[in-house]
Amino acid sequence: MAADRIVDLGDALRTVLNDLRASADEKAIAVVFQANTGDKFPILGNTEAIYILFRNLVDNAIRYGPTDSAVSLTLTQQQNNWLITITDEGSGIPVGDQDKVFDRFHRRTKADTYGTGLGLSIVKGVVNLHRGKISIQQRDDHSGLCVQVLLPVCRRETLPKETSDLAILYSDEGPVTTSLVAEH
């Protein structure tokens, strides 16, 4: 099972955004991260795997987004899950290819000059490992792609018995956290 420790999704996303800031700046892409449910976003998981999940998704949004565009990330709670939504202003993925992009070595066209076709299959594997779900769809205004990931919220009752109460801090505050990573 992937659940070897408590991972804060907000911290993982901030780390990825800091690591990819130069790529976004190079293309003059504004990257905005907004979290609406408080300060801590705990799951039971594998820190490195969660980092890879977010890094692949955000890197794709930046890589396939046009210059002078925006990438938006939101982190909210939806019942017993954290909902991570990543939207970009790229060309999107045709409906017929949306399920195929999770297959190993799948590349949509010869125009996809980057990578090996493994990124989204790795993403799918990490999501499955953490008992989550992932979906891809065109944005409502058809101006890019929207990727949504659901991962189960870590609750005190789901923690292993040996976990200290101090190992995780919960925030009871309402919607507050908004951080702007890069804006042009």
Of 11-15, 75-79, 160-164, 176-180, the poorest mean pLDDT is in: 176-180
Residue 151 CA, distance from chain mean position: 10
Residue 7 has pLDDT above 80, yes or no: yes
More confident call, 116 vs 146: 146
Model pTM score: 0.76
Measure the CA–CA gap between 33 and 178, rounded to whole angstroms.
7
At 182, the amino acid letter reads: A
pLDDT of residue 1: 43
Q: Which domain holds residue 49?
A: 5-182
pLDDT of residue 137: 82
Termini Cα distance of the chain: 41
Q: Please, what sign has the CA dihedral across residues 155, 157, 163, 169?
A: positive
Q: Find out whether 93 and 145 touch, Cβ atoms under 8 Å.
A: yes
Sheet bearing 30-35, strands edge to edge: 133-138, 145-152, 81-87, 70-78, 30-35, 178-182
Residue 9 has pLDDT above 60, yes or no: yes
Instruction: Rounding to the nearest 10 degrees, give the CA dihedral for residues 174, 177, 35, 48.
Output: -120
Measure the CA–CA gap between 164 and 161, rounded to whole angstroms.
8
User: What mean pLDDT do residues 96-121 have?
Assistant: 55
Residue 107 has pLDDT above 90, yes or no: no
Question: The CATH number of the domain where 20 resides is what?
Answer: 3.30.565.10
pLDDT of residue 4: 72
The domain total for the chain is: 1
